[in-house]
Amino acid sequence: MNDLNTIAALLGGAILFLGLGSKWLSRSPLPPTLLALVIGGLVGPEVFNLINPEEMGDRPSLLEKAARLTLGIGLVGVALRIPREYPRRNWREMLVLIGLGMVLMWAISTALVFLILGLPFWMAALIGAIITPTDPVAASPIVTGKEAEENIPEPIRHAISFESGANDGLGYLFVFLP
Protein backbone atom coordinates (compact mmCIF):
# COMPACT_ATOMS: atom_id res chain seq x y z
CA MET A 1 0.00 0.00 0.00
CA ASN A 2 2.93 2.36 0.59
CA ASP A 3 3.88 2.12 -3.09
CA LEU A 4 0.35 3.07 -4.11
CA ASN A 5 0.38 6.06 -1.73
CA THR A 6 3.77 7.17 -3.05
CA ILE A 7 2.60 6.92 -6.65
CA ALA A 8 -0.65 8.79 -5.88
CA ALA A 9 1.26 11.56 -4.06
CA LEU A 10 3.83 11.90 -6.85
CA LEU A 11 1.19 11.86 -9.57
CA GLY A 12 -0.88 14.46 -7.70
CA GLY A 13 2.23 16.60 -7.15
CA ALA A 14 3.17 16.40 -10.83
CA ILE A 15 -0.36 17.37 -11.87
CA LEU A 16 -0.34 20.26 -9.38
CA PHE A 17 3.10 21.37 -10.62
CA LEU A 18 2.02 21.22 -14.26
CA GLY A 19 -1.25 23.00 -13.44
CA LEU A 20 0.46 25.83 -11.55
CA GLY A 21 2.98 26.23 -14.35
CA SER A 22 0.45 25.96 -17.17
CA LYS A 23 0.81 29.61 -18.19
CA TRP A 24 4.58 29.24 -18.41
CA LEU A 25 4.23 25.87 -20.18
CA SER A 26 1.93 27.36 -22.81
CA ARG A 27 4.72 29.77 -23.80
CA SER A 28 7.49 27.18 -23.52
CA PRO A 29 8.79 25.41 -26.61
CA LEU A 30 8.84 22.15 -24.59
CA PRO A 31 5.68 20.08 -24.83
CA PRO A 32 4.08 19.05 -21.51
CA THR A 33 4.50 15.39 -22.46
CA LEU A 34 8.29 15.86 -22.55
CA LEU A 35 8.20 17.49 -19.12
CA ALA A 36 6.13 14.59 -17.79
CA LEU A 37 8.71 12.17 -19.21
CA VAL A 38 11.49 14.04 -17.41
CA ILE A 39 9.54 13.96 -14.14
CA GLY A 40 8.99 10.23 -14.60
CA GLY A 41 12.69 9.70 -15.16
CA LEU A 42 13.55 11.69 -12.04
CA VAL A 43 11.21 9.78 -9.71
CA GLY A 44 12.22 6.41 -11.20
CA PRO A 45 14.91 4.04 -10.00
CA GLU A 46 17.70 5.65 -12.03
CA VAL A 47 17.69 9.01 -10.22
CA PHE A 48 15.73 9.45 -6.94
CA ASN A 49 14.31 5.89 -6.72
CA LEU A 50 10.94 7.06 -5.39
CA ILE A 51 9.13 4.57 -7.62
CA ASN A 52 10.80 1.27 -8.47
CA PRO A 53 8.67 -0.99 -10.69
CA GLU A 54 10.93 -3.98 -9.94
CA GLU A 55 9.79 -3.92 -6.31
CA MET A 56 6.11 -3.56 -7.14
CA GLY A 57 5.49 -6.88 -8.83
CA ASP A 58 5.18 -8.27 -12.32
CA ARG A 59 6.66 -5.63 -14.66
CA PRO A 60 4.65 -6.51 -17.82
CA SER A 61 1.41 -6.42 -15.83
CA LEU A 62 2.33 -3.03 -14.34
CA LEU A 63 3.20 -1.61 -17.75
CA GLU A 64 -0.06 -2.88 -19.21
CA LYS A 65 -2.10 -1.29 -16.40
CA ALA A 66 -0.18 1.98 -16.65
CA ALA A 67 -0.66 2.04 -20.43
CA ARG A 68 -4.41 1.42 -20.08
CA LEU A 69 -4.73 4.17 -17.47
CA THR A 70 -2.74 6.62 -19.60
CA LEU A 71 -4.78 5.80 -22.70
CA GLY A 72 -8.04 6.14 -20.76
CA ILE A 73 -7.07 9.55 -19.40
CA GLY A 74 -5.94 10.68 -22.87
CA LEU A 75 -9.16 9.53 -24.52
CA VAL A 76 -11.33 11.24 -21.90
CA GLY A 77 -9.36 14.44 -22.45
CA VAL A 78 -9.94 14.20 -26.20
CA ALA A 79 -13.62 13.45 -25.73
CA LEU A 80 -14.06 16.50 -23.52
CA ARG A 81 -12.45 18.75 -26.16
CA ILE A 82 -14.73 17.73 -29.02
CA PRO A 83 -18.10 19.51 -29.25
CA ARG A 84 -21.00 17.17 -28.58
CA GLU A 85 -22.60 17.62 -32.01
CA TYR A 86 -19.34 17.32 -33.98
CA PRO A 87 -19.49 13.54 -34.72
CA ARG A 88 -23.13 13.76 -35.79
CA ARG A 89 -22.53 16.69 -38.14
CA ASN A 90 -19.27 15.44 -39.65
CA TRP A 91 -19.76 11.67 -39.74
CA ARG A 92 -18.99 11.37 -43.47
CA GLU A 93 -15.63 13.11 -43.18
CA MET A 94 -14.76 11.11 -40.08
CA LEU A 95 -15.76 7.85 -41.76
CA VAL A 96 -13.41 8.61 -44.65
CA LEU A 97 -10.64 9.82 -42.36
CA ILE A 98 -10.85 6.87 -39.98
CA GLY A 99 -12.06 4.14 -42.33
CA LEU A 100 -10.08 4.82 -45.48
CA GLY A 101 -7.22 6.63 -43.72
CA MET A 102 -6.57 3.84 -41.24
CA VAL A 103 -6.73 1.12 -43.88
CA LEU A 104 -4.29 3.01 -46.12
CA MET A 105 -1.96 3.78 -43.23
CA TRP A 106 -1.99 0.12 -42.17
CA ALA A 107 -1.26 -1.02 -45.73
CA ILE A 108 1.54 1.52 -46.21
CA SER A 109 3.08 0.78 -42.79
CA THR A 110 2.92 -2.95 -43.42
CA ALA A 111 4.52 -2.60 -46.85
CA LEU A 112 7.33 -0.39 -45.54
CA VAL A 113 8.10 -2.71 -42.62
CA PHE A 114 7.98 -5.72 -44.94
CA LEU A 115 10.22 -4.16 -47.61
CA ILE A 116 12.68 -2.26 -45.43
CA LEU A 117 13.08 -4.61 -42.48
CA GLY A 118 12.51 -7.83 -44.41
CA LEU A 119 10.26 -9.33 -41.73
CA PRO A 120 7.69 -12.01 -42.56
CA PHE A 121 4.48 -10.54 -43.96
CA TRP A 122 2.27 -11.29 -40.94
CA MET A 123 4.83 -9.83 -38.53
CA ALA A 124 5.04 -6.73 -40.73
CA ALA A 125 1.22 -6.54 -40.71
CA LEU A 126 1.22 -6.68 -36.90
CA ILE A 127 3.83 -3.93 -36.61
CA GLY A 128 1.92 -1.87 -39.19
CA ALA A 129 -1.25 -2.28 -37.11
CA ILE A 130 0.57 -1.19 -33.96
CA ILE A 131 1.92 2.04 -35.47
CA THR A 132 -1.20 2.94 -37.46
CA PRO A 133 -3.35 4.66 -34.79
CA THR A 134 -2.63 8.31 -34.03
CA ASP A 135 -1.88 8.75 -30.34
CA PRO A 136 -4.34 11.19 -28.73
CA VAL A 137 -1.77 12.22 -26.11
CA ALA A 138 0.80 13.06 -28.81
CA ALA A 139 -1.82 14.88 -30.89
CA SER A 140 -2.99 17.06 -27.98
CA PRO A 141 -0.15 19.60 -28.08
CA ILE A 142 -0.80 20.07 -31.80
CA VAL A 143 -4.49 20.95 -31.41
CA THR A 144 -4.57 22.76 -28.05
CA GLY A 145 -3.21 26.05 -26.82
CA LYS A 146 -2.99 29.58 -28.07
CA GLU A 147 -0.76 28.78 -31.07
CA ALA A 148 -3.12 26.06 -32.31
CA GLU A 149 -6.17 28.29 -31.90
CA GLU A 150 -4.49 31.07 -33.89
CA ASN A 151 -3.00 28.95 -36.68
CA ILE A 152 -5.22 25.88 -37.14
CA PRO A 153 -8.89 26.27 -38.09
CA GLU A 154 -11.33 24.86 -35.54
CA PRO A 155 -12.79 22.17 -37.86
CA ILE A 156 -9.30 20.77 -38.52
CA ARG A 157 -8.45 20.77 -34.80
CA HIS A 158 -11.67 18.90 -34.04
CA ALA A 159 -11.03 16.45 -36.89
CA ILE A 160 -7.52 15.66 -35.60
CA SER A 161 -8.82 15.24 -32.04
CA PHE A 162 -11.72 13.03 -33.08
CA GLU A 163 -9.59 10.89 -35.38
CA SER A 164 -6.85 10.40 -32.79
CA GLY A 165 -9.38 9.40 -30.14
CA ALA A 166 -11.52 7.14 -32.30
CA ASN A 167 -8.78 5.23 -34.06
CA ASP A 168 -7.13 3.97 -30.87
CA GLY A 169 -10.05 1.67 -30.18
CA LEU A 170 -10.33 0.70 -33.83
CA GLY A 171 -6.60 -0.06 -33.90
CA TYR A 172 -7.30 -3.22 -31.89
CA LEU A 173 -9.14 -4.65 -34.90
CA PHE A 174 -6.06 -4.24 -37.07
CA VAL A 175 -3.84 -5.81 -34.39
CA PHE A 176 -6.05 -8.90 -34.20
CA LEU A 177 -6.19 -9.45 -37.96
CA PRO A 178 -2.57 -10.63 -38.39
* 45-77: pLDDT as tens digits: 889 887 777 777 787 887 788 778 777 877 888
Q: Using the predicted structure, report yes or no on whether residue 2 has a pLDDT greater than 70.
A: no
* 169 — pLDDT class (breaks 50, 70, 90): confident
Whether residue 1 has pLDDT greater than 50: no
Of the CA atoms within 13 Å of residue 169, those in its CB half-sphere come to 8
Residues 6+ apart with CB under 8 A from 31: 141
Q: What is the pLDDT of residue 115?
A: 97
Are 113 and 119 in contact by the 8 Å Cβ rule? The answer is yes
Give me the long-range contacts of 138-147 (CB less than 8 A, separation at least 24): 138/33, 138/164, 139/78, 139/164, 140/33, 140/74, 140/77, 140/78, 141/31, 141/32, 141/33, 143/81, 144/81, 145/26, 146/26
Overall pTM surpassing 0.75 (yes/no): no
Tens of pLDDT along 108-165? 999 999 999 999 999 999 999 989 887 777 787 788 878 888 999 998 999 888 888 8
Higher pLDDT, 36 or 106: 106
pLDDT given at position 45: 84
Q: What is the pLDDT of residues 132-147, one digit of tens each?
A: 887 777 787 788 878 8
pLDDT, tens digit, for every residue of 15-40?
A: 788 778 777 777 778 777 788 788 88
* Contact present, 175 and 129 (Cβ < 8 Å): yes
Q: What is the mean pLDDT of the chain?
A: 84
CA 139 to chain centre: 7
